[in-house]
Amino acid sequence: MKLPLVFDIKRASTTDGPGLRTVVFFKGCNLDCFWCHNPEGKSPLAQIAFFKDKCIACGACRRVCTHRDTCSLCGACTEACPAEARRLYGALYDAEALMTILRADKPYFDACGGGVTFSGGECMLYPEAVAHLASRCREEGIAVAVDTAGNVPFSSFKQVLPFVDLFLYDVKALDPVLHQRGTGVTNERILANLETLRECGAKVCIRIPVIPDFNAGEEVASIRRYCEARSLPYEELAYHAFGEDKRSALR
């Protein structure tokens, strides 16, 4: 089946679910969080980023480029750049190619209770792809986690529920006005989906990004109380500015 573009595969992650995880980041997101740590995951299309501070002005990219007026996203310039000043975000993988990577990592998963985490962007924009891959992982004894902001129809969750062991569920704000200011959308569907997942018996861990000048302080405290009232485990994610360099490079 056709899969969405992948903008990164992170192996041996210790922050995206229990144990060691291999994280597959699908491209495309329907939120517009102003602090986004992975801005290269917002667009569903391939993109070339230029990190100006790394450029050594060697001209290698210009020598290999055959589409100077209109970029074809062929990636030749990124492969030629010796300083890694250019990077192509968005690669095509088929299901078997991804499964080959995950099978290779299975001994590590088995040794420490790890597995694969499908993330993004927003991986739940592609429920058919996630369900297909997750079902194959289930057949091969690989635990599956899904990292999601939950802003999709619940019918999308229904497709993946039989194959997912854990949902890492982002809750950025309970206040719908604040949520819209920070992400571009309100949170009614997000919170409704969370409640329905709980009713279905899904295993859920809430992830709270703590963002200065947005939700840090009382709003985060409100989310903690929300989780504790429902016996939902949660973790707070410290803010970092690593996404700023990528955001600038993509402009």
Does residue 1 lie in a domain region?
A: no
CA distance 204 to 159: 16
Does residue 12 lie in a domain region?
A: yes
CATH of the domain at 177: 3.20.20.70
Domain match, 164 and 176 both:
yes
pLDDT digit string, tens, across residues 155-201? 999 999 999 999 999 999 999 999 999 999 999 999 999 999 999 99
Domain match, 104 and 217 both:
yes
pTM of this prediction?
0.94
Does residue 63 lie in a domain region?
A: yes
Domain match, 77 and 169 both:
no
Per 3-state DSSP, the chain is made up of helix, strand and coil in percentages (nearest 5) of 40, 20, 40
Does residue 136 lie in a domain region?
A: yes
Does residue 248 lie in a domain region?
A: no
Amino acid 66: pLDDT: 82
3-class SS of residue 216: coil
Token pair of 171, please? 């809750």
Domain match, 81 and 127 both:
no
Does residue 26 lie in a domain region?
A: yes
Domain match, 22 and 78 both:
no
Amino acid 68: pLDDT: 65
pLDDT digit string, tens, across residues 120-141? 999 999 999 999 999 999 999 9
Structure-model confidence comparison of residues 27 and 238, the more confident one: 27
Does residue 251 lie in a domain region?
A: no
Instruction: Count the domains in the chain.
Output: 2
**Domain housing 71:** 47-89
Domain match, 32 and 53 both:
no
Does residue 99 lie in a domain region?
A: yes
